[in-house]
Structure 1
Amino acid sequence: MAAPIDEITALNPVSSAGQIPLEQPPKLKGRQKLLQNLQRMSSSPSLTRRGRSASAGYRRDHKASLSCVSLSSTYSPCLGNGSSSQFYGLNRPATPGYSVSPGPDAHINSRIRVVGTESPAAGQLRTVPLPVDLRPGSRSSPRLTMEEGDALETALELSEPQVSRARDFWGEMPAELKTEIFRYLTPLEIVRCSAVSKQWNAMCFDGQLWSKVDATEYYQKIPSDVLVKLITSGGPFVRDLNLRGCMQLDERWSSDRDRITDLCRNVVNFSLEGCKIDSVSMNYFLIRNPRLEYVNLSGLGSVTNKSLKTIAKSCHQLQVLNISWCANVDSKGLIRIIQSCTKLRDLRASEVQAFEDPELALELFERNTLERLVISRTNLTEDCLKILMHGVDPEFDVLTDRPIVPPRRLRHLDIHHCVLMTDKGLESLAHNVPDLEGLQVSQCPELSDDSIIEVVRTTPLLSHLELEDLENITNAALVELANSPCANSLEHLNISYCEALSDTGMLQVMKNCPKLRSVEMDNTRVSDLTLMEASFRVRKRGYGEKHPQVGLRLVIFDCANVTWAGVKEVLSSNAYIPRARKPVSAVVTVTQTSDAGSSPMTTTYVTPASTPSPAPTYPNEIIQLKCFYGWQMTVDEHTKRVLRGDLAAASRLDRKWADYMMATEEAGAAGAGARRRRRRARDAERLYNADDADDDTLGVGSGAPIGRRRRAQSGGCSLM
């Protein structure tokens, strides 16, 4: 028996210690190498002695399990030990009487496990077979088709875990959406975001974000270099350029003039009010922007007739021009503007001493395109205003004695503080400005009732009228205003410092002008009657479920005839709710009859209604007062409570303020009855404190409690 054992040992020279012999089988190539690398690794405690860790799938009943399929070429199977029979069906343990005949494929069979090998002792399957489509084929087996190879690759790819990759939403977002998101930020916030990164800096200074550069809100917080970068980054996208108050650009206009004007050539609205700029830079910018429609050069000393000539030559689309407070402009420059800019509809030239020239007035008359003309604080005379309205030597109507001229298109005329204006000049507006909506003739001391009455009779669309500091007008002008066609459209009226006006005229205005929104009548003779009438008219504007809004603003400070009682009337009216809109209570009457046959006793109970309470009701509009400074804080607090819908708190404040004012007046009164008045005040306070009513049950709009009623002092029950 020794000879067979030696033969087996020679053919399979593996030591009992499990060492691999020095002589290795020859290396395989091609398909044999691929099939050699397809092998099964099983977890077994015997492998721990060879430097391998045990797999979790191994069971102690000596049954192997499939752990993985390895394609590694560095692994060599464990041969020559007692456990090799569990993995390789052809390598049996060297026992007496058992011989293995070596074949040509012995080295292959020792490396590849034969699928389906059964144990001769137990007679049952020791391993889990691979699927048919994944079983390795021998050299004589047919090759894998393309579909089977793809299926094998797919199975191997699916077995690998898929690692989820975090998406970069901001990086993958289109540039248009990023720009749209940045539009929701303020310009100051965009400038701050530019410091995040280079990518954000490029996005923040994208020209599409700066089509409108309005520096009025942040010009004090931004340096000149960043402001110039905003203007230049916008470039051809900039259409609205408002640099009002940007004093830091004084030196920048000289150094960066060419760069700014070369990039910004599509500006439509341009404002330099309050800036410092030289005339050369300004003219250069005006020449390079022929699409200008709105130009505001108010208060610039560098604006001269040459600047107006430049505008007249290059800006033919001009519609609005503001050169107020430009002292270096006269009638010659304005005449060039009017002759060249045929679309001009708004001219603002306050305190420009050029309107005493009849030639300028005649040009304005012939052009007749202006809708707004602001020439306040100028040297306008009555003759120039007549030429502006009627022209020179017009034809008169024989019946009406009025000039036959086309009506003016003026909608707003401001000639306040023109001290040379008289009634004859203002009367020229009558029948010639049918579309007039705003008229300001304040501080013209020569005007009287005659000219005011003539104008308001023929301007049915008049909504804003300024008559401040006209000492010669009387209540007749207000009465005529209340009866004129413009009474239904009047919204703003200013009669401050007209000391001859009183309740006689203002009561008529309050009654007949339902759309009034603002009335300034400080330093007049109006009294509490006007305030009461105004409160009544505002209450007529209705009630609703929304919080109230300010519907009428009254300015009544320094009015000697206005007392705290009139102010209290306005406050009470602001928090007033009609009885019909308050929650309805049910009245239940119970009649009780005693057993002795006495007369029945009737008891009345007031219980809340069973139906659900309606939504809270508020006045649609209230009055906002500007009164004596000692009362103004109370009035403002009361208005604040009403606007937020807390009418109960507003009524409570109104009542307590009235008690304080009455106590102050009584305590300050002198004479023999002062002690008696103070005693009466203490008794009234005692009765008020003893009342069962609570502050929270006060009626809205009145000082009396509605939650409980005071017990009547009837002397008790006669039966008892």
Structure 2
Amino acid sequence: MAEPETNNALPGAAPTTAASPVPEIAVVNGDGLAGEGTDAHAKKSSRQRLLRGLQRISSSPTLAQLGRPRSSSSPYGKHGTLSCVSLASSPSPFGHPSAGSSYFSQMSSADGSSAPTSIPGSPMAELPGFDGIESVLAVRKIETPLSIPTTASVPLELRKKTKTFNLWTNMPHEIKIHVLSFLQPKELVRASRVSKDFYDMCFDGQLWTCFDASEFYKEIPSESLSKIIVAAGPFVKDLNLRGCVQVEHDKRAEMVVKACRNLINATLEGCRNFQRSTLHSLLKSNERLANLNLTGLTAVTNLTCKIIAQSCPHLEMFNVSWCKHVDARGIRLVVEGCHKLTDLRAGEIKGFDNVTVAEAIFKSNNLERLVLAGCNDLNDTALKVMIQGVNPEIDVLTERAIVPPRKLRHLDLSRCSQLTTQGVKSLGYLVPDLEGLQLTGVTHLTDAALEPILDSTPRLTHLELEDLSELTNTLLSEHLARAPCAPCLEHFSISSCENLGDAGMLPVFRNCTSLQSVFLDNTRVSDLALAEAAAMIRERASPLRPLSHPSIGLSLVVYDCQNVTWTGVREVLSRNAEKMKPKRIPGQTTQDVAAPPSEIITLKCFYGWQMTVDEHTKRVLRGDVAAACRLERKWADYMQATEEAGAGGAGGRRRRRRLRETQQVHADEEEAGAPGVIPGRRRARTAGCTVM
């Protein structure tokens, strides 16, 4: 007997020959035996119909629903039936059999089954693309996905062909530099550590056109400072080395000077170690300098001023204040050589009693700011020559010099102790554009020195008259309050003017409605001046808009004023927190809603009251008006109880008890405003033990 083929037939099936290309299929009966048909044509049709049915079942998507749970008993019944079967998969396009397992082998592996593991049958028909009936009659496993994907991934072929786009790498160099220009110098130095490309970009000269080391000069070493300046040298236009004492006379400093050749603004204030030769080299190589600040440098001399006059014709601002080795003769060279000079600051420079220097300043007539603070050599004669020139023509009727008016806008003559009324009086009617005048410490001035100035300066906004003990209230009430500059005056200081009081300041507060800061310390002003100031601020303020906070409208300094009491201070605090109604407009029918004022007063007063005043101001500024009013009321009760306790006569013990109670309430109120303290709760106190 020939051995059966095990490749394409079931166990026990007859071998397939070339004469019979279509083998007969075995029909399984209830006993698991294969029967043979007599009619070949009928058998062939039955086999084809069975195979087509199985294929149709395998392609149905509802196959999972047609099946039923597998029984633990034998899957075969007495009658010839088939369980739910399906094809394992579609025929492989490559001709290989599917990987599914045989139906009969799975059926025979059921738990507790007594059916045979192999079934003898007749030969099976060969189908194209299938190697055996095991692949055709395999159970298909269907797994229901937990979630249906809503997107499809890019195919691998397209994914490999897609080019990755790096935004920063493909960005033009100019745009990268513009992005990095928004970083601060310290941030640029930190970003340079990212990579070599970032290092080259962060030290690109276009990012360092303005180099200001005043914010980090204490942290940057000399080597790093010089390295940055050398790298960006040709691009640097604004150089600020204020306070950089690490810039010394060595190879680094010389490299910095050689690199910077396009400076427009240079600030070397406080660079005490800057040597003279290095400074001169820097000035000679920068002909476009417009602003030069050499404050406090010991290397600056008259020779330096000569080099500036020859090498910097475009100079507009020159500051040599507190340079010990410079005098007025060097200033004259700069004034005569730099015809565009408009800002000259020469505080505490000697030699300004020289008439030649004063005449050079008069002839230039380009200065808009002149700072001569602390120049003790400046006298009346030199000041007159600066303003009127030498031997000017005098008007017979007015006794004024007939000369072109000066262009001065800011004049600082503070601490020029040799000036008197005759010299300062020459400014009258010759400085019509004056906006700021500082005469602090010129102790010999009287009302006659300031009267013509106030009458002829309609743009005056800043006036400082500290320590002028000879001024009287008439100057304030009759001249300043009625001067053309009264509506625009913003800053006014009469500190330590002991003869000035309410008679002069009340008219000033009524007429000078644009005041923003007033210094009245150590004067004779009283509570009336404070009340008038509060009324002036309330008059110009408007009701506060919703969801907004008030701003500081006036800074008032009244400490060391003997006539100022807590009553005047309370008036200011009360007006700061008092609600106001908007001004009525004719024809308006809407209802007015009261609101706190938009501007308040910050007060600097007696140090014992200052903490309460500051706390009250903080509450008003943050919008807590109710808490501010409560603090003001409790503080008033405390001050009143203090005054009663200090009075003599009967009832002293009762007044002292009231004072202690008021002090406790006031302390509770102070603690309520402190952070971390729960409002409305009092701190536990233990009565002190007094030993008799």
Is the structural similarity TM-score above 0.5?
Answer: yes
What is the aligned partner in structure 2 of residue 660 from structure 1? 638
Q: Which digits, 9 at most, give the CA deviation of each residue in 1:390-442, with x for residues without a partner? A: 11111112222211100000011101111110111011001100011111111
Would the aligned equivalents of 1:437 and 1:462 in 2 still touch at CA under 8 Å?
yes
- The number of aligned residues is 533
How far did residue 665 of structure 1 move?
2.2
> 1:637 corresponds to which letter in structure 2?
E
Change (3 A) 1:499 1:659: same
After superposing the two structures, state which structure 1 stretch, 259-268 or 495-504, moved more.
259-268
1:441 pairs, out of 439, 444, 457, with 439
What is the aligned partner in structure 2 of residue 235 from structure 1? 233
Q: Identity percentage over the alignment? A: 48
Distance in 2 of aligned mates of 1:218 and 1:632:
35
Distance in 1 of aligned mates of 2:94 and 2:503:
108
Alignment of 1:510 with 2:509, yes or no, is yes
Q: Which digits, 9 at most, give the CA deviation of each residue in 1:222-256, with x for residues without a partner? A: 11111112212222221110000001112xx4212
> 2:127 corresponds to which letter in structure 1?
Q
How far did residue 61 of structure 1 move?
3.5
> 1:223 corresponds to which letter in structure 2?
P
What is the aligned partner in structure 2 of residue 43 from structure 1? none
Would the aligned equivalents of 1:466 and 1:493 in 2 still touch at CA under 8 Å?
yes
How far did residue 67 of structure 1 move?
5.7
> 1:301 corresponds to which letter in structure 2?
T
What is the aligned partner in structure 2 of residue 409 from structure 1? 407
How far did residue 86 of structure 1 move?
3.5
What is the aligned partner in structure 1 of residue 109 from structure 2? none
Distance in 2 of aligned mates of 1:447 and 1:390:
20
Would the aligned equivalents of 2:543 and 2:594 in 1 still touch at CA under 8 Å?
no
> 1:544 corresponds to which letter in structure 2?
L
Q: Structure 2: any 5+ residue segments left out of the alignment? A: 6-14, 19-84, 97-122, 137-153, 585-589, 667-671, 674-692
1:86 pairs, out of 117, 123, 127, with 127
Change (3 A) 1:615 1:224: farther
Change (3 A) 1:354 1:160: same
How far did residue 181 of structure 1 move?
2.9
Alignment of 1:631 with 2:609, yes or no, is yes
> 1:514 corresponds to which letter in structure 2?
T
Distance in 2 of aligned mates of 1:535 and 1:617:
17
Alignment of 1:358 with 2:343, yes or no, is no
Distance in 2 of aligned mates of 1:628 and 1:158:
82
Change (3 A) 1:676 1:337: same
Alignment of 1:207 with 2:205, yes or no, is yes
Q: Which digits, 9 at most, give the CA deviation of each residue in 1:167-186, with x for residues without a partner? A: 53333333333333323322
What is the aligned partner in structure 2 of residue 670 from structure 1? 648
Alignment of 1:334 with 2:367, yes or no, is no
How far did residue 200 of structure 1 move?
2.2
What is the aligned partner in structure 2 of residue 61 from structure 1? 87
Would the aligned equivalents of 1:254 and 1:281 in 2 still touch at CA under 8 Å?
no
Distance in 2 of aligned mates of 1:370 and 1:683:
64
Distance in 2 of aligned mates of 1:432 and 1:199:
61
Alignment of 1:299 with 2:299, yes or no, is no
> 1:662 corresponds to which letter in structure 2?
Q
> 1:647 corresponds to which letter in structure 2?
V
Change (3 A) 1:261 1:663: same
Q: Which digits, 9 at most, give the CA deviation of each residue in 1:529-556, with x for residues without a partner? A: 0000000010012223131111111111
After superposing the two structures, state which structure 1 stretch, 662-671 or 564-573, moved more.
662-671
Distance in 2 of aligned mates of 1:83 and 1:196:
73
Change (3 A) 1:257 1:675: closer
Change (3 A) 1:685 1:272: closer
Q: Which digits, 9 at most, give the CA deviation of each residue in 1:262-294, with x for residues without a partner? A: 321111100010112001000001111111000
What is the aligned partner in structure 1 of residue 622 from structure 2? 644
Change (3 A) 1:579 1:415: closer
SS state of the match for residue 483, structure 1? coil
How far did residue 633 of structure 1 move?
1.5
Alignment of 1:475 with 2:473, yes or no, is yes
Would the aligned equivalents of 2:283 and 2:308 in 1 still touch at CA under 8 Å?
yes
> 2:649 corresponds to which letter in structure 1?
G
Distance in 2 of aligned mates of 1:420 and 1:180:
55
> 2:322 corresponds to which letter in structure 1?
W
Q: Which digits, 9 at most, give the CA deviation of each residue in 1:613-670, with x for residues without a partner? A: 9988331211111111111111111111111222112112111221222222222333
Would the aligned equivalents of 2:428 and 2:456 in 1 still touch at CA under 8 Å?
yes
Change (3 A) 1:83 1:420: farther
- TM-score, normalised with respect to structure 1: 0.69
Change (3 A) 1:563 1:87: same
Q: Which digits, 9 at most, give the CA deviation of each residue in 1:105-152, with x for residues without a partner? A: xxxxxxxxxxxxxx9xx9xxxxxxxxxxxxxxxxxxxxxxxxxxxxxx
SS state of the match for residue 625, structure 1? strand
SS state of the match for residue 232, structure 2? helix
Distance in 1 of aligned mates of 2:651 and 2:95:
117
> 2:329 corresponds to which letter in structure 1?
K
Q: Which digits, 9 at most, give the CA deviation of each residue in 1:468-488, with x for residues without a partner? A: 001111111111211111111
Alignment of 1:377 with 2:377, yes or no, is no
Distance in 2 of aligned mates of 1:368 and 1:464:
22
Change (3 A) 1:394 1:167: same
What is the aligned partner in structure 2 of residue 424 from structure 1? 422
Alignment RMSD (CA, Å): 3.4
| Superposition pairs of residues 99-118 of structure 1, within 5 angstroms | none
Distance in 2 of aligned mates of 1:440 and 1:271:
25
| Superposition pairs of residues 687-698 of structure 1, within 5 angstroms | none
